[in-house]
Amino acid sequence: MIKKNIVAIIGSNNNRSQTKAITENILNELIKLDQAYSYKGIFLGELNLKYCIGCQKCFNDGFCELDKLDDMVLIREYMEKADIILLASPVYANDVSGIMKTFIDRISYQFHLLSFSGKLGFTLTVADHSGSEKVIEYLDHLSIHLGIKNLSNYSFIYINDSMYEKPTLIAKDMLRKIQGNYGYSNYYLEYLFRMYKSETLPKDAVNFENVSHQNELKFWSQNWIKNTDSFQEFAAKKRSINYDLYEK
Ligand SMILES: Cc1cc2nc3c(=O)[nH]c(=O)nc-3n(C[C@H](O)[C@H](O)[C@H](O)COP(=O)(O)O)c2cc1C
């Protein structure tokens, strides 16, 4: 049986990370409840991850030069192979953690490509008492811009939540949301797809030299995308491309 693969990006640098412990609790519960799933936790604190240096070459080239020097390629590959992506961050000073932001900066050129279309997603924030709302909103927004259909956002607050009960509740809710879901699209993803397809391409573009964000323009002007009418169809095609790459 091919299992549905959940990849959790865990944005903490703390070697006794609560976010890691809670994420693992949730996902262990989930696979206990339904063995059709497996998971891979990517704990950013254990990886070599360099800061974005702001060169913006990725928007033109479609890859980041720093990928040659650290573990970002590995993270991108795990995300590409995933069926479901969970973005988990602790709340630090009312925001995502620094290491989560580094990951986000390094992946940001992929926002304009809706790179992870055809995947479902969840977000999780962990805080001592406050600041989760803003982080949830941010991670939710990022998921959508990566092409992910986000099914739910969860927050874990120490003063309120039981380490024993809440991970199980979240695991059950995740399964309910996945099983009750149909397709990979929603209103906002359809809107983004139409926008990128029609508006990023200059009407008079003949070649892409000297145009900024060349890689995006090239991507959105491919024939297979021109012949795709909806995000749902785009996502289904992307899933079959990934299937060809990874499953055979
Ligand atoms: C630098 C820093 C800033 C923090 N800021 C907040 C905050 O704004 N609000 C809050 O409720 N908790 C805050 N906390 C507490 C953490 O969110 C909380 O302890 C979380 O469980 C830490 O997760 P981790 O162990 O995975 O890093 C902060 C912790 C650190 C280290």
- pLDDT confidence of residue 248: 38
CA-nearest of 117, 105, 244, 136 to 189 is 117
Same domain, 173 and 194: no
CB 65, CB 55: distance < 8 Å: yes
CB of 128 closer than 6 A to ligand 1? Answer: yes
Tokens read off for 239: 């899933």
CB of 117 closer than 6 A to ligand 1? Answer: no
Atom of ligand 1 nearest to the CA of 128: 11
- pLDDT confidence of residue 217: 86
Same domain, 16 and 95: yes
Ligand 1 binding pocket mutation candidate from 12, 22, 92 (most atoms within 8 A of CB): 92
CA-nearest of 159, 76, 164, 84 to 124 is 84
Same domain, 111 and 196: no
Atom of ligand 1 nearest to the CA of 129: 11
Cα(125) to centroid(ligand 1), Å: 10
Same domain, 148 and 39: yes
Q: Listing from the earlier edge strand, what are the strands of the sheet with 120-127?
A: 37-43, 4-10, 84-90, 120-127, 149-157
41/29 Cα distance (integer angstroms): 14
Span 47-97, pLDDT tens digits: 999 999 999 999 989 999 999 999 999 999 999 999 999 999 999 999 999
Cα(116) to centroid(ligand 1), Å: 28
Domain boundary among 128, 153, 179: 179
- pLDDT confidence of residue 170: 98
Cα(147) to centroid(ligand 1), Å: 28
Tokens read off for 223: 């024939």
Same domain, 175 and 197: no
CB of 167 closer than 6 A to ligand 1? Answer: no
Cα(61) to centroid(ligand 1), Å: 36
Task: Quote the number of domains for the chain.
Answer: 2
CB of 212 closer than 6 A to ligand 1? Answer: no
Domain boundary among 179, 197, 217: 179
137/27 Cα distance (integer angstroms): 22
- pLDDT confidence of residue 241: 77
Same domain, 170 and 94: yes
CB 188, CB 194: distance < 8 Å: no
- pLDDT confidence of residue 247: 47
CATH code of the domain covering residue 130: 3.40.50.360
Low-confidence ranges of the chain (pLDDT < 50): 247-248
Q: Which amino acid is at 45?
A: G
198/178 Cα distance (integer angstroms): 31
Residue minimizing CA distance to atom 22 of ligand 1: 90
208/89 Cα distance (integer angstroms): 38
What range defines the domain where residue 204 resides? 187-246
Same domain, 61 and 175: yes
pTM value? 0.94
Beta strands in 72-205 (DSSP E): 84-90, 120-127, 149-157
Q: SS3 helix, strand, coil % of the chain, rounded to 5?
A: 50, 15, 35
Cα(184) to centroid(ligand 1), Å: 33
Same domain, 74 and 16: yes
Residues 6 or more apart in contact with residue 104 via CB below 8 angstroms: 96, 142
Same domain, 209 and 153: no
Q: Which amino acid is at 104?
A: I
Run of H or E residues at 87: strand 84-90
CB of 89 closer than 6 A to ligand 1? Answer: no
Same domain, 55 and 172: yes
Same domain, 168 and 51: yes
Same domain, 137 and 162: yes
Domain boundary among 120, 145, 179: 179
